[in-house]
Structures are given as structure tokens and as C-alpha cells.
Homo-oligomer: A and B are copies of this chain.
Amino acid sequence: MAVALYFIRRSLFHDWMTHIHRAALLAILSASPVLAADPPATPAALVAQAPGEAWRAVPPDDLLVMTIEGGAQVVIQLAPMFSPRHVGNIRVLAQAHWWDGTSINRVQDNYVVQWGDATEKKPMPPGLSATSPDDYRLPIATRRLQVTPSPYPDPYAPATGFVGGWPVAMDGDAAWLPHCYGFVGVGRNLSPDAGTGAELYAVIGQAPRQLDRNIAVVGRVIAGMAHLSSLPRGSGELGFYTPQEHPVPILSVRLASDMPAAQRPQFQQMDTGSRSFADYLRLRANRKDDFYDRPAGGVDLCNAPVPVRPAP
């Protein structure tokens, strides 16, 4: 009996591999060039087979490495194209070692994990830029954005697509980053305050897209996400930890570009303008393989995460 990819039973994993090998053997025996050229059937297979030219290195000053209690690391890719002032501030804060000794102090289920200075009294380093709600949207006309459009409808925006390795929602004038799972935004007080970048959160549930264009999105977690998403939920208002609960100490936050070369994490992301990415998006929207009988014919903007991998 062959077994499903996603709901595979552990003890039958071997049987499933046998199934795959049998299919490969059949393909070889049939010796058909059409079969041999068959494209990958699943998004995972496509990503595994994507050629080197489909990948782009993530610059080391776009990588923020947060080390928390116990030494676990969370790696965040920053998005300076979309939030230049906030990302500039985050780099200043990291270089000042400002987050060292702060904590993760809010975990609200199906919403966000949030971190920063719980005392709200830590002095800010010099060199931070002023921010405003104008920073939440990137005007399309002034930047001549190269957009790979998505053909699938979106409940939150007239159009969506991908720009420079990032998913975007768009109207006629501007593009903005969506609040997808793992995306990182900037806590703020009431508008027109737009936050400095010192108080950050990561999405840990269904994409809260109602926050789009109401708050600055500055990046996404690309490694170590489970260290955030599996934290105990806070029992206080809005998921803040109460005095009886344990905020998670942040040991350090550094830009990869400031780390010794040997310790620097190195990642690549798929070029969202590549043929591989177009194929990936189509496969995410049309699952039809051993496990899937009925392809949806569409996919949510937040359910086609841009593939990322450690640099080979």
C-alpha cells in the first residue's frame, strides 16, 4: 500500500519510498524522452531541482540573527526596499547591541510573538530616523518595480504579486508587504506614531492582513521560526506574559554582516522573476500528485512562501 506524502504514517515511510522508486524504475524502463522530461509534480520537488541560476544570495546586512535563552537562533531577513527607514533603525539598534538583555514578552495564540524592552525605559541609541505612516506603502511609479503578478484573487487588495523575492499586495499607486506567517512588523502606539523598530513582532497564525498598510512590515523569519511559534502563550491581556510567567531573555541581536565570517549564516532565496518561481507558484495553486485529487486552482498570497535555502 502506498502512503500519502503529507499524512504519511511513520512506519510506512519505507513503503512510500518503495513506491517512488518503482515509479522511477518505470520511467527508466519506458525510456520515453517525454516521461524523462516530466516536470516535478510537487512544489518541494521543484525547489529541490531548481537550477543555481534561480537563486539569489541574501546580503549579510539584510540578515538579523537573534539568539535567545538556551542559544537558539532565529534568523530574520530584512526588507530595506519596502521599509527603508525602519530597517535603517533596526540596523542601528543591532549595531548598538540595543536588544541584548531585552526579552520576548508577548505571545498571543494565532496572532503574534513580540519582543523588545519590557521596561520601556531603555534609552535609544543615537542615529534613529523619524518614521511615519507614509512608510507603510511603497509608491510604484517612483521605483519602477519589476512585479511578477499573481493571477489569483485576494480578499485584501486589488492585486498581488512578487517583487525582489517578496510577496506584495498592490493598488494602483503602491505596493506593500503582507502580514504573512513568520513576517516581522514594528509595534507602535496610536497613529501617527509608526514605531521606531525597537519593538518587533512575528506573525504566528493565520495571516492578520487587516494590519497591512496600518503598520510597518520589515522582514520575515527565514530560520528558527519554531523557537518563536512554540513558546508558551501569555495569559495576560493581549498575550503579554504576567509577572508569574517567564519572558524569554534575548541574549543578542546582530546583523550577519557584523558577525565573524565563520559564524555568519548564509542564505539564498528563489528569484521571484525566474521560470522556477513561476512553476512553483503554479504548483502551489494546483496540487495534483499522489496525495491530492482535486487541485484548488488558486493559492493565497501567504500560502506560497518564497523558497529560501542555506547557501550550498
Contacts and interface: CB of A to CB of B under 8 A. Distances in A.
Given A181-B205, A191-B291, A206-B303, 11 more contacts: A7-B187, A9-B120, A10-B105, A12-B189, A109-B225, A133-B293, A190-B290, A209-B296, A209-B303, A210-B303, A214-B292
A155 interface: yes
A229 B228 CA distance: 11
Contact of A296 (B212, B237, B238): B212
Sorting the interface of chain A by its residue count into under 10, 10 to 19, 20 to 34 or 35 or more gives 35 or more
Contacts of A230: 107, 109, 230-233
Given A210-B292, A230-B231, A155 B156 contact: no
B237 A10 contact: yes
A287 interface: yes
Across the A-B interface, the 10 shortest Cβ-Cβ residue pairs = A153-B153, A155-B298, A226-B233, A7-B187, A152-B155, A181-B206, A213-B294, A109-B226, A156-B296, A210-B287
Instruction: Please classify the interface of chain A as helix (H, G, I), strand (E, B), loop, or mixed, using the class held by over half of its residues.
Output: loop
A240 interface: yes
Contacts of A274: none
Contact of A214 (B187, B204, B291): B291
A94 interface: no
B206 A207 contact: yes
A171 to B, nearest CB: 10
A257 interface: no
A240 B210 contact: no
Contact of A293 (B153, B191, B301): B191
B118 A188 contact: no
A302 interface: yes
A10 B155 contact: no
Interface of A: 1-4, 6-13, 105, 107, 109-110, 114, 118, 120, 133, 152-157, 180-182, 187-191, 199, 201, 204-215, 225-226, 229-233, 236-238, 240, 284-285, 287, 290-303
Contact of A4 (B153, B190, B292): B190
11 contacts: A2-B189, A10-B105, A109-B230, A110-B181, A110-B225, A153-B153, A154-B155, A204-B229, A206-B207, A210-B287, A226-B233
A229 B113 CA distance: 13
A12 B215 CA distance: 19
A180 B205 CA distance: 10
A190 B3 contact: yes
B240 A10 contact: yes
Nearest to A293: B191
A199 B294 CA distance: 21
Nearest to A240: B10
A305 to B, nearest CB: 9
Given A284-B210, A292-B210, A293-B133, A188 B7 contact: yes
Interface centre among A213, A284, A303 (most CB of B within 10 A): A303
